[in-house]
Amino acid sequence: MLDTDTDRLLCILVYLKTNPLQTMHGVQFGLSQPQANYWIHHLLPVVQAALEALGMSPERDGRQVRTSELALEGTPDLALDGTERCRQRPQDATEQKAHYSGKKKAHTDKNIVLIIESTHKVVYLGPTEGGSKHDKKAADEAAIAYPSNATLDQDTAFQGYAPAGVLVREPKKKPREQELSRVDKFWNQIISGVRIKVEHVLAGVKRCRIVKDILRLTKVGIPDLVMEIACGLHNLRVACRHPLPGFDLFDLLNPAYCR
């Protein structure tokens, strides 16, 4: 049974990390499947509120990125990328079309993610969209307000995305039936070396298998919630490498965060 805050914290973190069947998760903590389901849905918003109170949650409003505390921590060297994760196949035909990703050849949920290259933290997480939405369109709709004198690394999926006042760096796309010049290939190698930081951050976010495996929770809003929590936990893990004065991991389940 989950009698203490420590037990509840362990329960929800294990669930986020391993994404087990609720029956098996309940066995580990002495719960029935309905009890496990109750605690999972009860504790997810608590973890979200705690991460937000700790200043680890990514910004969800693109217009607030410029003044975000996370954005002000490091240099204005940013990187933008899209990330997809498989989901259950929708029963509705319209939803099936909206969530089908031609790139993954599967039904997926997609988010765009903005990271700070110097701190390796996620500063902005876009809304959860269907896998069919193009990355550039999602970025345009996000209306992100970038810090002054920012540089933005992006891949060819964002070709044509050039926000005002931002120095955009992206690889050269190979022309149809032509080859890239040696200069362009060299430039692409440089960009790839920089953009590997984005892949490392996304790998850190997806340490939580809840956003890597197919999500079994069907409640509306849960796919977006767990992705925000996974990004917040990644930011927390990065921050714990250089602990802040007075920081306590077990403050995550402080009841004050739920008020």
**Structure confidence by residue, pLDDT tens digits, 155-197:** 888 988 999 889 998 888 888 878 888 888 888 887 777 778 8
Residue 35: CB atoms within 10 Å: 15
User: Which pLDDT value is given to residue 242?
Assistant: 59
User: Which pLDDT value is given to residue 259?
Assistant: 41
User: Which pLDDT value is given to residue 175?
Assistant: 80
Q: Report how far apart, in Å, the C-alpha atoms of 257 and of each of 53, 86, 155, 230 are.
A: 7, 31, 38, 18
Q: Report how far apart, in Å, the C-alpha atoms of 243 and of each of 119, 197, 217 are.
A: 14, 22, 33
User: Which pLDDT value is given to residue 195?
Assistant: 77
Distance CA 72, CA 70 (A): 5
User: Which pLDDT value is given to residue 196?
Assistant: 84
Spell out the per-residue pLDDT of the chain, length 259, in tens.
788 999 999 999 999 999 999 999 999 999 999 999 999 999 999 999 999 999 999 999 999 999 998 888 877 889 999 999 999 999 999 999 999 999 889 999 999 999 998 889 999 999 999 999 999 999 999 999 998 889 999 988 898 899 988 999 888 888 887 888 888 888 888 777 777 888 999 999 999 999 999 999 989 999 999 999 999 999 999 998 755 455 555 555 454 544 4
- DSSP assignment of the chain equals ---SHHHHHHHHHHHHHH---HHHHHHHTT--HHHHHHHHHHHHHHHHHHHHHTT-SPBS-GGGGGG-HHHHHS-SEEEEEEEEEE-PPPSSHHHHHHHEETTTTEEEEEEEEEEETTTTEEEEEPPPEETTS-HHHHHHHHT--PPTT-EEE--GGGTT---TT-EEE-PPPPPTT----HHHHHHHHHHHHHHHHHHHHHHHHTTSGGGTSPP---STTHHHHHHHHHHHHHHHHHHHTSPPTT--GGGGG-GGGG-
pTM above 0.85, yes or no: yes
Check: CB of residue 150 under 8 Å from CB of residue 78: yes
Q: Which residue has the tokens 């608590």?
A: 46
Q: Which amino acid is at 183?
A: V
Is residue 84 left, alpha or beta, with left meaning phi > 0 and alpha meaning psi from -120 to 50?
beta
- At 48, which helix (H) or strand (E)? helix 33-53
Listed in sequence order, the residues at least 6 apart from 209 whose beta carbon sits closer than 8 Å to its beta carbon are 16, 17, 18, 19
Bridge partners, 190 (sequence order): none
Residue ranges covered by each domain of the chain: 1-53+222-259, 58-205
